[in-house]
Structure formats: structure tokens, C-alpha cells
Structure 1
Amino acid sequence: MKASTLLLPLLTMTLATATPMIAPSWAQTRFQGDEQVNIQVYQKASPAVVTIRTNGGNGSGSIISPDGLVLTGEHVISGSRTVQVTTSTGARYNARVIATNRQRDLALLRLENVQGRLATLPLANREGIQVGQRVFAIGSPFGLSGTYTTGILSRIATNGDLQTDAAINPGNSGGPLLNSRGELIGVNRAILSPGSSGGNIGIGFATSVLNAQEFIAQNRNNSAPALAAEPRPNRPNVPNPQGVRLGVALDPETLTVREVEPNSPAQVIGLRPGDRLLAVNGRPLEDPEELRAFLERRPRAMVLTVARQGRVANVLVRF
């Protein structure tokens, strides 16, 4: 009897002291480590990310000054003089295109009738951009504004452009690539799609903010629309500068596809009239002669950057 009497109070005391310890432990570990960083970056950066709508489609952008300066991709605005911009709160603005740089695929917009100060994204310096670091992308893929993906910075190209495995899809173009401090390190530009499906295989590209800083500084005070950063000299019409090896006829000024030859590599990868050729193997194209010179080397394959209706993708072409 004495043993039973002593055991019962001891068991009761043990249960009473152990039970409350479970809830505090769970509460303290819900959002820690990497998960907490993810949440903090999104909460800090997402108010400065916008959705851009043009007649050609949707894209994304970053507010970089509280009075309404927006950085995005040149292919997103696709020659427009004015676009519609929606902020994360649902506020809508008309915006004027004040500068573009096709080679870097950059554009600056100025929001009209801004009241008060807008949330902004800080620009990273060189030390804030390192291969192997975690990166974060926010944008409006397929019109789904505020979509958030994460990955790592996989590579920095010789021209400074960034490669990442963070999921980037149509509509993310022009939106921010961020570091873990919530700083803008790149403007999302393209995905590598080996075929005509346009699917994401985990290789995305962004223009480094280091390459964008001079463009911003030179054009942030522009007031009139500037649809061409660099005037092009008049060139004779070159209907098909690369022969049947690729199989397209191009506009010599805009590098827009006019015709696609049947059973050509261009048809196999899904090119169609209206597409714009932006780059080969990551190198921006300025005129058809550059494409002709590349194809004369008879490469076995190349990565072609193509813009279509405000979206851009990298497509693997095999010969």
C-alpha cells in the first residue's frame, strides 16, 4: 500500500510537468532557419514588385524609386509607349516608357500620378552577387501576381549575366531576382527550353543589376518616351541572310521573323512569324549579319533567345 501511495503522486507530477513543454517547442520552431529567411525576403520585397500589362501580354517589374521609377525587361514592353502597371496592393497606374536598351534587355518606366511614396527594392553591389548564394524570384507567371520561387545562383557569365535554377516562367520576365537581403541582383529575362514546348527545365537567366546601374543612372530623369536606346543605321532588306540552315526570313531592322521555311530547323523548334530573335548563345544580336556570320561556322547546335508576345525563352537548336 505504501508503494502504491507513493507511486501515484509521482506519476501525476511527471505528466503535469511534461505536457506543457510540447506546445512551446512547436511554436518556437515553426519558422526558423531557411524558412524564416524565405518569409522575410518575400515580406520585404514583394510590395515593390509590379505586374505589367501590354497589348502583347503580361510581365513583371521592380519599383526602384519611391516616386514611381520601374525597372523591367525591354522585351516585356515590346515597343509600347505606355503600359498598365498594377502594384501588390492592387493599385493601378498608367506608365510611360522612358528608356530602353535592347542589347541588355532593359527598360525604365515612369508611373503617372503617384500619390505618396512607394515601396522600393534596393540594388545590390558586387559583393551581394556570388555564385552559390540563395536567390529568390518574384513575379507574375501566367498572370499569377506575387508568385515566389527560390533557388541558387548557378553561374555568372563573362558578360555579367546571371544563371539560376529558381523557377522562372512566362510572366516572370522583367521581375526581380533577389539575394537573401532582399536586394535586387538581376532582372529576370529568359528560360532555357530545349524544344518547342516552352517548359522550364531549371535553367533561367537574368540581366545583372551591375549591368543595369549605368542604364538607370543615365535615364532615370528622362521625361519623354525613348523607345530605342541606340539608333540603327538603315540597312538593305535581307530576306533570308542565313539560307536554309536555320530557315527563316528576317526583318533586318528588328530581327523579327517574317517567314519560316517548311521542314527547317526553325520550324522544328516552333518559330513562327512575329517572333523576334534576341541573342545566340547569350550574345545579343544587333543585325542579321551577326547571325549569318555565326551560322557560317556551321555549328552543330546553338541556343537561340526568342521573344514572343512579351515573353522570352531560350531554345536549343540542333543542326
Structure 2
Amino acid sequence: MADRVGRTLRAFVAVLVSMLLGVALTLGYLTASTGGRVGRSLLPVSIEAPLSRDGEASKAHLFDEQRVMDVCERAGPAVVAIESRVGQRRGLGSGVIIDPEGIVLTNYHVIRNATQLDVALSDRTRYTGRVLGTDPQNDLAVVRLVDAPGGLPVVPLGELEDIKPGALAIAIGNPGGLQRSVTVGVVSGLNRTLRDTPARAPIREVIQTDAAINPGNSGGPLLNSRGELIGINTAIEVVNGQRGFGGIGFAVPVTTARRYLPRLLAGETIEHPWLGISGGDVSQQIARERGLTTRGGVYIEETTGDGPAAAAGVQRNDVIVSLGGHTITGMDDLGERLDRSFLPGQLVKMGIMRGRERLELTVTLGKWPERLPPTR
């Protein structure tokens, strides 16, 4: 089942314009907050109790119960409930304290557009929250607790190097307002890519888990067997507007949070580079159907309005084969290269194949727009 989902998540889609094409299933994801609907083809977010599915009630017994209880005892006090107000609407999500001075890591969609944030600690002490920095594309945000004393409990940041599928995964959060609820499962997969996100942009290197995630869990921690933070719970899968396969949840990896944390703490809104293309990997089938002479790279289906790629002269049916002197093997490779090596506004050399001719174009990278313009 996980392999099937992995193939679907990696299907031929427009990564850089986050456009779903016609694949076997219409996929979306339900954000786990009670603040409203986000994404495409998603379930309305309603408060639900985390009911057990068949066989799930006994799942925790597959693990060392004492270890799970020890992790919850250590990490539980650092998990907070975040109530957001947007006009007359209220949303409920979760967060995790990562600094004893009152620094909370959570999801961007939990605090998005909030005019007021109330944060409740495990001992029911409440603080006003102030947003420091946000990364809408990766669905991350950092919140400071106003006038909080020092010495608050924290969850340490973990590492993913030793995490493999099958590793213990513990989710703590506030589903349906039920504070510090604990669910247990395993890491079902690594390096997934979520396409249909609140920012209409892909989130890469995502952790897949079968630990139950429900509305209100958003922003809460996904923990390893040592009680360290390995991810921020962000989404569950839905299919055609309904809950899809059971036991498929996703968390933004700690590696992504660690990469941007200094800038988030400095108060930045993280901006990501944007090309403005729609396309996919050059598979053997596509190469054969389109008469392409290259293997590997990114095939251009469409360019976006007057976006960066179109302005540089990129055309439909071109194939991107290099960026900044580095060979591009596919769409995910292109996205990762853009995110890790470049910033909006930078000039970058891009190698393309147009028929049998290789061209080198200079592209001025844009920043990912809040609303994607139409393609052409």
C-alpha cells in the first residue's frame, strides 16, 4: 500500500506550479487543524475524536510500552495547544516548545492570518503567542510566548540519519481539543513529496507515518524512540474529498525545520525560488511519445504567464537538462536544487534541449507567488 501511495505521490505532476494532472486517484490532504479548509479536493475540517480502526487498538502493544510512556512523560509537557482567531472564526492546533525561553515550532496553516494566538501549556498556563517567522511553502512557523518565564520544558531536535521505515513514531497533539493525546505507530516511509499544500507548493522529504493524526494535531511533534523531534505533524491523506487509505499521515521533517530555523528565529518570512513551469520527468515512454533525444531532465508542458522561465525564453516541449552547471535528472531534483542552492532574484544559467539543439538560457528566478498565475 505504501509503495502504491509513493508512486502516486511521485506521479507525473506539475511540481513547480503544484498542478495535479489526471492520475488514478484525485489526491488532496486534510490539514489537521480545526481552522477551515485548505488545499484542493479536501474534507471540511471538523472536530472528531480519534476513533480506533480495526486492529489499531492493539498496535501499541507491538512496541515497548514502557518506552512509549517514558517518551510521553518527557515530551508531553513541551506540547502546547494553539488557539487561533481569524475574525469570528477559531482554529485549534498544536505546537512544540523547542527553546526554554518560550519558542514554539508549529505549522504555518495553524497560525495563518491569525489576529490573535492563545497558547496553553500542559499545566493549563496560558500565554499570548506572537509569530516570529514563517515558511508558508514548508508549512512551518515559529511562535514566541509573550512574557513566558525561562526554564520551560522542551523537546530536543533529533536526527533522521538513523531513522528507517519501521522505526517507532509517536505523535502527541490536541485532536478535537483533547489535549496531549498520544498515538503510536511506525515511520511508514521517507522522502515523500506532498503536492497539494496550503501554499500550492510541494513540501519535499516528508515523513509518512501510520501513527493516527486527526484534526487538531497539526503542528504537534512526531517523536522517535528517544523522545526527540523528527517531524511536525501536518496532514493526512484524503481521496476525492473523503478520508482515503487508513493510517497515512505526514510530517514535515526536522531536517527542513533545522535548515530554516535560524532565519525563522530572526523574524523572516522564507521566500523560495520559482521558475513558473509545468512538466515532469522525462521517462522512456514520454521520450518515445514526444520524439525526445535526451534521457533524464524535466520536460516542459507549459510555462506560467510571464513567469521567470517564459521571460527567459523557455518554450513548451523544451527539456531542462542543467541548472547552474549541475545536471538535472528530474522534477524533484530540479526543485531540490532550486531550494538548496538559489534565492529569488538570482541569475542562473539553465541548459535546455530544444529538439536536437542544446541551448543555454539565463533565468532571473522569481519568488513563489501566493497565488499561481495561469499557465500557457
Among 164, 174, 179, the alignment partner of 1:130 is 164
Change in Cα spacing, 1:128 to 1:41, as seen in structure 2 (3 Å) is farther
User: Which residue is equivalent to 1:45?
Assistant: 75
Q: Which amino acid aligns with 1:107?
A: A
Distance 1:207 1:32, change over 3 A: closer
Greater relative contact order: 1 or 2 (C-alpha under 8 angstroms, separation 6 or more)? 2
1:179 matched to 2:213? The reply is no
Counterpart in the other structure of 1:288: 372
Q: In the superposition, relative to structure 1, how do residues 173 and 94 fare at CA in structure 2: closer, same or farther (>3 Å)?
A: same
Q: Aligned pair 1:218/2:225, yes or no?
A: no
Equivalent residue letter for 1:160: E
2:166/2:186 contact within 8 Å kept = yes
Corresponding position: 1:193 with 2:238: yes
- d(CA) in 2 for partners of 1:152, 1:232: 33
- The SS at the match of 2:80 is strand
Larger radius of gyration: 1
CA offset at residue 125 of structure 1? Answer: 1.6
1:71 and 2:71 correspond: no
Which residue of the other structure, out of 107, 121, 129, is the alignment partner of 1:87?
121
**How many residues are matched?**
211
Which amino acid in the other structure matches residue 157 of structure 1?
N
- 3-state SS of the aligned residue for 2:255? helix
In the TM superposition, residue 78 of structure 1 has moved relative to its aligned partner by 1.4
Give, in whole Å, the separation in 1 of the partners of 2:189 and 2:272: 32
Question: Greater shift after overlay, 175-184 or 123-132?
Answer: 123-132
The residue number in structure 2 matching 1:205 is 250
Counterpart secondary structure, 1:67: coil
Q: Hey, what's the Cα distance between the residues in 1 that align with 2:99 and 2:143?
A: 11
Residue ranges of structure 1 left out of the alignment (5+ in a row)? 1-30, 234-282, 294-319
What does 1:250-269 correspond to in 2, within 5 Å? none
Name the CA shift for 1:35/1:288 in 2 (closer, same or farther; >3 Å): same
For 2:143 and 2:215, the matched residues in 1 are separated by 20
Q: Where does the alignment leave 5 or more consecutive residues of structure 2 unmatched?
A: 1-60, 193-203, 275-334, 336-367
Percentage identity across paired residues of the two chains: 43
Q: Helix, strand or coil for the counterpart of 1:45?
A: helix
Distance 1:165-1:218 versus aligned 2 partners, 3 A rule? same
Q: Is contact 2:133–2:266 with CA below 8 Å preserved after alignment? A: no
Cα drift, residue 199 of structure 1? 7.0
Report how far residue 118 of structure 1 moved: 0.2
Displacement of 1:229: 2.9
- Is 2:181 aligned against 1:147? yes
RMSD over aligned CA atoms reads 2.9
Alignment deviations for residues 138-189 of structure 1 (CA, whole Å, 9 cap, x no partner): 0000111110001110111253110001100010001000000000000001
Q: CA deviation at 1:197?
A: 3.9
Q: TM-score, normalization: structure 1?
A: 0.60
Match 2:64 to one of 13, 28, 34: 34
CA distance in 2, matches of 1:61, 1:82: 16
Q: Which residue of 2 aligns with 1:15?
A: none
